[in-house]
């Protein structure tokens, strides 16, 4: 049986700052050698060359080592950074650590981690990637002590995207790639990964190569996929609920149907176990919401609730940044806290123009 989980959200005061993680360890909230995953937002451009992710990664791993964790073990801790804090979104990290707690029959937060087989550049966007991701999700579920896919509420991944170097590598071996546009490959990698998650959880049947990025009716309601230049495998963190693990925390999920769907956010919080009034306000949360984790996407028809917008036609500011700022503002208005995990590029993650929402709450 997996251990109970302690989870805390901390601010990041500068791009290389991990002082609040150090504070948690010094205060005895969690032990450095029991940190099992970190998911956070950094303040870079959110693009292919967003090196704030690498800077933050190094800062947090260095603190874990300084506070007594084994350096080799720290290298294996999944740390997923989503770059870009557009609008009011505030840089922060959510830290998961195992802890000791009395077992309980009530469903409580559990976390499992796995790495996929190596993803070659020619795999990205094709069923080979779907299969490799799905296999890793199943391993992470088992490690989390979850047998029923319905108990999975959030799957956070980090996968490779295509760079000029990896495209050249594929061509040198006589292979083709799905796209030679590196920025487009971010959406591609995320979307294909989401299909792998959906297959593993039984949300969809195995898609074809032609379905990837084209059939948007195929999606996962719990996938949150990011990609970058930092790795060549799928890094998979499965978060759900299990009986017997104990602890104070629980997770739930829902989807935003569009960029303004506040009801989807509240539904995720309710699904996690908080009782709320019919028309809730952020003050009703009373400090019990740890964090919301969202993916967002500009609707392919260029509209929100029947009104036209120009995001997809804007050559000055990429739609990634515009929709992220929009949904970040909507989410912060619901939570009363701008430190929310809102990540863009949500192909096959929730319905077109919307996205999955996961909520972790403290039930005391």
Digit-coded pLDDT (tens) for 193-243: 999 999 999 999 999 999 999 999 999 999 999 998 778 999 999 999 999
Of residues 249, 275, 296, the one with CA closest to residue 96: 249
Task: Compute the distance between CA of residue 105 and CA of residue 348 in angstroms, rounded to an integer.
Answer: 34
Question: Which are the catalytic amino acids?
Answer: 158, 226
Distances in Å between the Cα of 143 and the Cα atoms of 3, 113, 240 are 11, 7, 11
Are 356 and 197 in contact by the 8 Å Cβ rule? The answer is: no
Q: What is the dihedral of CA 54, 197, 37, 275, to 10 degrees?
A: 120
pLDDT band at 49 (very low <50, low <70, confident <90, very high): confident
pLDDT band at 48 (very low <50, low <70, confident <90, very high): confident
Task: Compute the distance between CA of residue 352 and CA of residue 277 in angstroms, rounded to an integer.
Answer: 29
Q: Helix (H, G, I), strand (E, B), or coil: what is residue 99?
A: strand
Backbone phi, then psi, for 334, in 5-degree steps?
Answer: -70, -45
């Amino acid at each position: 049986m997996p251990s109970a989980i302690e989870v805390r959200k901390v601010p990041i005061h500068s791009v290389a700052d991990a002082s609040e993680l150090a504070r948690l360890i010094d205060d005895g909230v969690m032990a450095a050698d029991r940190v099992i995953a970190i998911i956070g937002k950094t303040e870079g451009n959110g693009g292919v060359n967003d090196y704030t992710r690498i800077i933050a990664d190094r800062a947090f791993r260095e603190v874990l080592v300084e506070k007594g964790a084994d350096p080799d073990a720290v290298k294996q801790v999944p740390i997923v950074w989503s770059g870009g804090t557009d609008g009011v979104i505030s840089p922060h990290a959510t830290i998961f650590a195992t802890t000791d707690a009395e077992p309980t029959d009530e469903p409580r937060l559990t976390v499992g981690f796995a790495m996929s087989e190596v993803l070659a550049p020619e795999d990205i966007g094709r069923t080979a990637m779907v299969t490799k991701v799905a296999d890793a999700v199943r391993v992470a579920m088992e490690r989390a002590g979850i047998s029923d896919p319905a108990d999975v509420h959030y799957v956070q991944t980090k996968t490779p995207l295509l760079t000029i170097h990896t495209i050249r590598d594929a061509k040198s071996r006589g292979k083709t790639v799905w796209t030679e546009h590196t920025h487009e490959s971010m959406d591609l990698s995320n979307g294909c990964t989401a299909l792998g998650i959906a297959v593993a959880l039984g949300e969809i049947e195995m898609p074809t190569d032609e379905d990837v990025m084209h059939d948007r009716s195929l999606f996962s309601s719990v996938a949150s996929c990011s990609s970058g230049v930092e790795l060549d495998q799928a890094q998979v963190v499965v978060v759900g609920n299990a009986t017997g693990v104990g602890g104070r925390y629980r997770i739930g999920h829902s989807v935003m149907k569009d960029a303004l769907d506040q009801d989807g956010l509240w539904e995720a919080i309710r699904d996690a176990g908080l009782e709320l009034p019919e028309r809730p306000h952020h003050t009703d949360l009373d400090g019990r919401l740890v964090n919301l984790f969202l993916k967002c996407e500009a609707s392919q028809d260029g509209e929100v609730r029947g009104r036209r917008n120009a995001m997809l036609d804007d050559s000055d500011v990429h739609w990634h940044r515009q929709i992220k700022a929009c949904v970040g503002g909507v989410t912060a208005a619901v939570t009363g806290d701008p430190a929310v995990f809102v990540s863009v590029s949500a192909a096959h993650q929730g319905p077109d123009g919307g996205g999955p929402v996961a909520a972790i709450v403290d039930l005391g």
